[in-house]
Amino acid sequence: MNAGIIGATGYAGAELVRLLSNHPNVDKLTLSSVSFEGEQIEDVYPGFLGRVSLPLLKAEDVIASSDVVFSALPHAVGEPFAAACMEKKIHFIDLSADFRFDDDEDTYNKWYGKNYQFPDLHKKSIYGLPELNRQLIKDEAAKTCVIIGNPGCYPTGASLGVLPVLENSKGSSVIDVTRSPIIVNAISGTSGGGREPSRSFHYCECADSIAPYKIAGHRHSPEIERNICVMAKRNGINPPKVIFTPHLAPMNRGICSTIYIPLSPQWHVTQDEIGEKTDKIRNIYKDFYANEPFVRVLPCGICPSTNKVRHSNYCDISVHIDINASTLIVVTAIDNMQKGAAGQAVQNMNIIFGFDETLGLNAIPMLF
């Protein structure tokens, strides 16, 4: 199987190069980059010296030689390449936001300030969160070539922290999303801002400091709310409102999300019962993710942290009930370059081609 990457010299693109060059079922890898066309990937990233030596070609050359194309381009750039891939019956996995909202052009326009160039493509694109849409991806890929809108990094960590209780809520009423919004506070490393320099990511601006940004206006807000609404509607409950606030931390990679979900009145307990009820909710999460290779529901007493998932495709989750016994607190941690971008894209590729879902993604998290 031949794979290609358009935009191979950005952070997510380079991570794709690292993963796909070691994937046992990728026979040939072809790369392109507008900024560095004509150079070698190891000239841009010397870490590839002696391991990956590939020229950076035109995007058209990548499409012509690939069975699947990954697009790691900025928003509103990749649609023409998706159209070219569909014409040639090539699977297309997009890491930008262009295909994350299906045919909801109004939402895309509101948050990204662009209109769809090829509206018909969006009617058949699939949102690529495997834990939400795995079967749909499998079914559509078995029939024809597909376009995958790879999820954003913040929405991945936030959504995986909420989905289990939304599915379970109809039967056991663990949560009451009509009482108050779901609140997501998330902290990300600086690689989430991409490779293009900007003042916010200069060392003197972000070192030794954590600060919120784009309060009440981050582009990932509608994607998080959309995922939660999809699961809520599947289970016959009213879609909840979501408040999302991102923060920037002085670290290279990782996202840690703390999520506050209102418990239904029948789950309000005394302090003596908090441990027992927490165990029951933890079991709901363990059952929901029992067959998920990259979601780890942590035991009592262990809380997720970004250093426990670094350079891996895992999402770690812990569940807690607040001291007032009225709110479920869920903590998730992912590597934003892996489960939040390139790793999840490779996971989607494995699903499309019917490979073992963990192929090329079995790395144990780096401990230091």
Average pLDDT score over residue span 311-332: 94
**Identity of the residue numbered 335:** D
Torsions phi, psi of 190, nearest 5? -75, -20
Q: What's the whole-model pTM score?
A: 0.95
pLDDT value of position 237: 79
Per the CB < 8 A criterion, the answer to whether 345 and 124 are in contact is no
**DSSP alpha helix (H) spans, 6-102:** 11-20, 41-44, 59-64, 79-87
- In CATH terms, the superfamily for domain 2-150+341-353 is NAD(P)-binding Rossmann-like Domain (3.40.50.720)
Which range (13-22, 38-47, 50-59, 266-275) has the least confidence?
266-275
Per the CB < 8 A criterion, the answer to whether 321 and 277 are in contact is yes
Report residue 259's pLDDT band, with 50, 70 and 90 as the boundaries.
very high
Report residue 197's pLDDT band, with 50, 70 and 90 as the boundaries.
low
CA 76/CA 79 separation, integer angstroms: 7
pLDDT higher than threshold 90 for residue 290: yes
Query: CATH 3.40.50.720 occupies which residues in the chain?
Result: 2-150+341-353
Q: Residue 136: is it exposed, middle or buried by C-beta count within 10 angstroms (0-12/13-18/19+)?
A: middle
pLDDT value of position 88: 97
Query: CATH 3.30.360.10 occupies which residues in the chain?
Result: 154-334
Which range (32-46, 266-280, 283-297) has the least confidence?
266-280
Cα dihedral across residues 192, 198, 203, 39: positive or negative: positive
CATH dotted code for 154-334: 3.30.360.10
Q: Catalytic residue positions?
A: 153
pLDDT value of position 171: 47
pLDDT higher than threshold 90 for residue 306: yes
Average pLDDT score over residue span 237-264: 93
pLDDT in tens, 121-146: 999 899 999 999 999 999 999 999 99
The residues near 135 (Cβ < 8 Å, ≥ 6 apart) are: none
Cα dihedral across residues 100, 104, 106, 107: positive or negative: negative
